[in-house]
Amino acid sequence: MSRPPLHALQGFVAAVRHGNLTRAAESLNLTVSALSHQMRALEERLGYALLARGARGVSPTADGQRLLERIAPHLEAIADALHPYAARRGQVLTISLLPSMASAWLLPRLGGFLSAHPDIEVNVQSQTGVVDFERSPDVDAALRVGRGQWPGTVAEHLFDDELAPMASPDLVARMGGIDARPLPEWPLLGDGDGQWNRWFAQAGQQPPSRYVAVLDDTEAHHRAAAAGVGVALGRMTRARLLLEAGQLVLLSPRRLRTANGHWLVYPERSRQHRGFTLFREWLLEQATAYAQSDGSRPG
């Protein structure tokens, strides 16, 4: 017989000690159905019943009791051996997010969290892909842009984003000033997804017949605008540092609210992570302050 899975044996011990599958599943961060499936699979593998199920919960059968007495000390020894590593794990926090959100929003604030919690080590993974928490168990949470619909995760809304036309001071000077010409006469950088059409419709204006360039990446828009190539319909959250540094200026006070917001996304297992618990509380406070201060508006 091949070796029975360790997680199933852990589930069996938890079920016996709690005397209840619901409480045992909660202690293991599992659903009751998942734990029940583990128990049935283990019983089929061993060839005999381990648990007697009744109205008041579960209890070990005679065979189950003998198995418990043989394996419980070994599982406890493994848990004791791993304890120092588990303690260290609670001090290391890994966050996944877009490179633009890391540089423009999280990193300028992260020093405050690290100063308040010097024992926590934060690993920031800047990546464009959506992390799969099942395949990446070392990643504890992610900052994502979307509508909060990621199956199998907890998603907490942080704040929304807005779009506004922005350009470099050099381009503004070449055009004769912000109010020198109607915006459709400026060299506009197309977004490829119709956001400009929505902005002009909201402003009661006709969009231009053509764009000087069409870019499919938000950061490319910001960089091209800062280089004087044209006017970007930039994301206020991610362009804030460029605006504050004077590399970009706003051409209109009108904003277009995006359909996708910013979210903190994490698997259920992260609720047991001390570092994540502290980070989550801090992040929600930062997001609330940012939204209340009209964070999309520099100055």
Q: Please state, in angstroms and rounded to a whole number, the distance separating the CA atoms of residues 188 and 191.
A: 9
Range 205-225 average pLDDT: 88
Residue 75 predicted with pLDDT over 60: yes
Instruction: Enter the tokens of residue 164.
Output: 């506004």
**Strand-strand pairing, 141-146 and 92-97:** parallel
Q: 162-257: which CATH architecture? A: 3-Layer(aba) Sandwich (3.40)
286-289 long-range Cβ contacts below 8 angstroms, 24+ apart: 286/109, 287/158, 287/159, 287/262
Residue 232 predicted with pLDDT over 50: yes
Confidence of residue 298 (pLDDT cuts 50, 70, 90): very low
What residue ranges do the domains of the chain occupy? 6-85, 92-161+260-292, 162-257
Query: pLDDT by residue (tens digit) across 274-288?
Result: 999 999 999 999 999
pLDDT at residue number 94: 93
Ranges of H-type helices in the chain: 6-18, 21-27, 32-46, 62-89, 99-101, 107-116, 169-174, 195-203, 218-226, 236-244, 274-292
pLDDT at residue number 23: 86
Confidence of residue 297 (pLDDT cuts 50, 70, 90): very low
Q: 92-161+260-292: which CATH architecture? A: 3-Layer(aba) Sandwich (3.40)
CATH code 3.40.50.1360 for 6-85: no
pLDDT at residue number 299: 37
Compute φ and ψ for 279, nearest 5 degrees: -65, -45
Rounded to an integer, what is the distance from CA 188 to the centroid of its chain?
A: 32
Compute φ and ψ for 235, nearest 5 degrees: -85, 120
Residue 233 predicted with pLDDT over 50: yes
Range 163-186 average pLDDT: 95
pLDDT at residue number 24: 87
* String of DSSP letters for 7-43: HHHHHHHHHHHHSSHHHHHHHTT--HHHHHHHHHHHH
pLDDT at residue number 82: 57
Average pLDDT over the chain, rounded to whole? 88
pLDDT at residue number 251: 96
Query: pLDDT by residue (tens digit) across 122-156?
Result: 999 988 888 899 888 889 999 999 999 999 999 99
Residue 72 predicted with pLDDT over 90: no
1/197: higher pLDDT: 197
pLDDT at residue number 192: 67
Residue 36 predicted with pLDDT over 50: yes
Residue 86 predicted with pLDDT over 60: no
Residue 259 predicted with pLDDT over 60: yes
Answer yes or no: same fold for 6-85 and 162-257.
no
Instruction: Enter the tokens of residue 31.
Output: 């659903």
Instruction: Enter the tokens of residue 148.
Output: 């909060």
Range 54-82 average pLDDT: 83
Confidence of residue 5 (pLDDT cuts 50, 70, 90): confident
Residues 142 and 131: beta-carbon distance below 8 Å: yes
Q: What percent of the chain has pLDDT over 90?
A: 53
Q: At what angle do helices 62-89 and 6-18 cross, to 10 degrees?
A: 110
